[in-house]
Structure 1
Amino acid sequence: MDSLLNTTDYYSSVNATNGSGLNDTEGYNQFVQPIWQIALWAIAYCSMVCVSVIGNLVVIWIILAHKRMRTVTNYFLVNLAFAEASMSAFNTVINFAYSVHNEWYFGLGYCRFHNFFPIAAVFTSIYSMTAIALERYMAIIHPLRQRLSSAETRVVIGVIWVLALLLAFPQYYYSTTDQLPGRTVCYIQWPEYTDDTAMDFKKMYSVSVVLLYYFLPLCIMGCAYLVVGLSLWAGTIPGDSTHRYREQLIAKRKVVKMMIVVVCTFAVCWLPYHIYFLLQQFHPDPMQLFEWRYIQQVYLAVLWLAMSSTMYNPIIYCCLNDRFRAGFQKVFCWCPCVPAASYEELELKSTRYLQTQVSVYRASRMETSLSTVLQPTEEERCGAEQPGSPPIIQTTLELTSTSNGSASRSALNPPDSPAYYGRHNMD
């Protein structure tokens, strides 16, 4: 099997040694499992794929269907969700079937796609998380610098996909199928390595991918979140801070905490997988690993753990973010175990609906005015009745609510006074 998300090179190595992968000395084929084991693994893999695909599609809907959710961070989350849902749908089940049957049923075209796309998807996933970490770093540590616009965010996402496809291209180029006695196999036929060759292309590519796909982005994210965490949690909130400042700080902490959990989950899920294949690449006798009685069970467990990273993110979003939780509750409102969603309170409605509601609210507020008529005192009444006294002008004080809820004076002068007409003519 190759070190990169598929079972192809794994079985080609076994086939090259003994043709069938059978351990003749013990009379036991470690790659043939009882039906009950296959059934248990099938349930585990299919359940994981269903949770991953449905959960990530809901995440995409929550962000794209609600304008309030269309932030720079959430655009990267859409890219992350799309990559993970695609890998689960197009690779995981096929990989499991090939692991169990050791026979390729899907032709050369899908063999190349099967070896090519998962590399691009994993690259896109982890570098989307890296972009989020850097975006959070810039927003919190350097808040006065210009933030990414929507157009710039799309450009960054496009660059991530282009780099991912380029890095995965060798997997596509060297993929092939071969007809063995009684079955077909799909594998990657790397260039031959001899003593005269300056480098082992397969090992060089495998190590490069592990560094670029795992260790380098994790180091970048670790440094970024360390600095951000020290900035957000090292100090205490000042006692005289405004309520708005406290809310913003708490919101930033929640977002950063959610993304740290996402990154740590990814790292834990993929670490055994990379250790497994680095060990395979640099073991003095790799075939000794394949002859171990339980190697198939170990591989299926390691693969399931790595692929399961695609299903945890929607669960993390739902648990740690109020708006995502409201969106999930809205989607699964038909389920009796799901509590009623606070959909309206979190303003996840469509933009047009929100604008209509705000306009109606403002109009009703603007129409509400408070008029106070200042009645003359008794002495003023008596004085007005005396000959030669100026007439008493009834003064009206009108307070009109503005759109932000504050009150403004619409008439401080009597309607008949020159100041009243002068002020209104200037408006």
Structure 2
Amino acid sequence: MRGNRGTELPEDFWIPVALDTNNITSLSPFLVPQDHLGGTGIFYSMAAFMFFIFVVGTAINVLTIACTIQYKKLRSHLNYILVNLAMANLLVSGVGSFTACSSFAVRYFIFGPLGCKIEGFLATLGGMVSLWSLAVVAFERWLVICKPLGNFVFKPDHAIACCAITWVFALIASVPPLVGWSRYIPEGLQCSCGPDWYTTNNKYNNETYVMFLFGFCFAVPFATIVFCYSQLLITLKMAAKAQAESASTQKAEREVTRMVVVMVLGFLVCWMPYASFALWVVNNRGQPFDLRLATIPSCLSKASTVYNPIIYILLNKQFRSCMMTMLGMGGGGDEETSSTSSVTEVSKVGPA
């Protein structure tokens, strides 16, 4: 590791507090416990939380992929996108959450500078695929239910193409820090790695990278989600109004309204803290902030590997039924699909 002698500036990490920088080795998150940033109880609590996310997130997403492989009826265009989401979540939980759990347990990043770059890249890649997959799910629902293209049919080939696009976009977002536009360094309590939000460094152009991520990987997907789901709700309300006497139509409209609210809130819980924190740091250089609080956005994004499957997969009746059958817990394989699928039938009376 460079920058571990005298007052040389470290290339692989950032000194977050004004301590004795004449001995950078004594502060290196790759070499010594970061007890100057928080008590051992905080580190062990975070290790336990990350262990929970790793175990539960890995289990749910592996089960999702296994169910899709075993049950042919799950291989619909929407479910292809949900499997893509599960693969991205699995990458984050299997790499990001496991690495963070191990590092929090010993109170420093034990995998070294190279491990930091690998973990930062893979966790960012998985996170970006997950983020764009949520936007693709919203886009698919808009095309299928609102029918903006008339008789256009969204087929499995289209879903596969959309999944491929999510990985291309994710690579566009996650590769730059490996080639000199920003960098991957320990973040928060220095036990997990991510892009460098913290330093003003003309060599890495961190500020422009942060703004790029905010625009391309937060603002655009969020705008897509809000637009698509708002159009979906308008279509469903018109369908419900046209069938005011139908109790099932009214029930479906209420269910989907709740579902949309939960999906949007889930997206915001996952990504708003991360985006807000990065923008605040970029626009308030030199302002002190608590590294314990800076860890929260990273943990919330990793926790999405649990609550995204709950929202998008476990609340899908067809997926849930197949999972219960696979686990030997009963469940009829002939249950309805999800509420969004049932609403597709309801929306046929709405405007094309």
Q: What TM-score, normalized by structure 1, do the two folds share?
A: 0.62
Q: What's the CA shift string for 1:276-309, capped at 9, x where partnerless?
A: 22222221314x22xxxxx243233332222111
1:158 equivalent in alignment to 2:160: no
Q: Which residue of 2 aligns with 1:83?
A: 88
Q: Which residue of 2 aligns with 1:322?
A: 317
Q: Which has the higher strand share?
A: 1
After TM superposition, give the deviation of residue 319 of structure 1 in Å: 5.5
Find the partner of 2:178 among 157, 172, 191: 172
Matches within 5 A, 1:32-111: 32-34=38-40, 36-98=41-103, 103-107=108-112, 109-111=114-116
1:310 equivalent in alignment to 2:305: yes
Q: Retained in 1: the 8 A contact 2:135–2:225?
A: yes
Matches within 5 A, 1:25-424: 30-34=36-40, 36-98=41-103, 103-107=108-112, 109-142=114-147, 144-174=150-180, 175=183, 193=201, 201-234=205-238, 235-238=240-243, 258=259, 260-286=261-287, 288-289=288-289, 295-317=290-312, 320-333=315-328, 340-346=329-335
Q: What's the CA shift string for 1:304-331, capped at 9, x where partnerless?
A: 2221111012223466332222123224
Structure 1 residues 81, 262: CA separation in 2 closer, same or farther (over 3 Å shift)? farther
After TM superposition, give the deviation of residue 220 of structure 1 in Å: 1.3
Q: Which has the higher helix share?
A: 2
Q: What's the CA shift string for 1:130-159, capped at 9, x where partnerless?
A: 112111111122174222322232122112
For 2:154, give the aligned amino acid. Answer: L
Structure 1 residues 269, 193: CA separation in 2 closer, same or farther (over 3 Å shift)? closer
Structure 1 residues 240, 311: CA separation in 2 closer, same or farther (over 3 Å shift)? closer
Give the distance between the partners of 1:188 and 1:268, measured in 2 at CA: 20
For 1:303, give the aligned amino acid. Answer: S
Q: Retained in 2: the 8 A contact 1:225–1:260?
A: no
After TM superposition, give the deviation of residue 95 of structure 1 in Å: 3.3
Structure 1 residues 304, 274: CA separation in 2 closer, same or farther (over 3 Å shift)? same
Q: What's the CA shift string for 1:355-408, capped at 9, x where partnerless?
A: xxxxxxxxxxxxxxxxxxxxxxxxxxxxxxxxxxxxxxxxxxxxxxxxxxxxxx
Tell me the C-alpha RMSD between the 2 structures. Answer: 3.8
Give the distance between the partners of 1:255 and 1:73, measured in 2 at CA: 16
Give the distance between the partners of 1:225 and 1:124, measured in 2 at CA: 20
Give the distance between the partners of 2:91 and 2:145, measured in 1 at CA: 32
- Report 1 or 2 for greater relative contact order, CA contacts < 8 Å, sequence distance ≥ 6: 2
Aligned to 1:157, the other structure's residue is in SS state helix
Find the partner of 2:16 among 14, 17, 42: 14
After TM superposition, give the deviation of residue 117 of structure 1 in Å: 1.8
Give the distance between the partners of 2:185 and 2:151, measured in 1 at CA: 52
Unaligned runs of 5+ in 2: 1-9, 29-33, 187-191, 338-352
Q: Retained in 1: the 8 A contact 2:78–2:137?
A: yes
Give the distance between the partners of 2:112 and 2:218, measured in 1 at CA: 30
Give the distance between the partners of 1:253 and 1:75, measured in 2 at CA: 26
Q: If you compute each CA radius of gyration, which structure gives the higher value, 1 or 2?
A: 1
Q: What TM-score, normalized by structure 2, do the two folds share?
A: 0.73
After TM superposition, give the deviation of residue 167 of structure 1 in Å: 2.3
Give the distance between the partners of 1:9 and 1:95, measured in 2 at CA: 21
Give the distance between the partners of 1:299 and 1:31, measured in 2 at CA: 11
Give the distance between the partners of 1:161 and 1:269, measured in 2 at CA: 19
Aligned to 1:308, the other structure's residue is in SS state helix
Give the distance between the partners of 2:316 and 2:185, measured in 1 at CA: 46
For 1:306, give the aligned amino acid. Answer: S
Paired residues in the alignment total 309
Aligned to 2:176, the other structure's residue is in SS state helix
For 1:323, give the aligned amino acid. Answer: Q
Give the distance between the partners of 2:278 and 2:325, measured in 1 at CA: 42
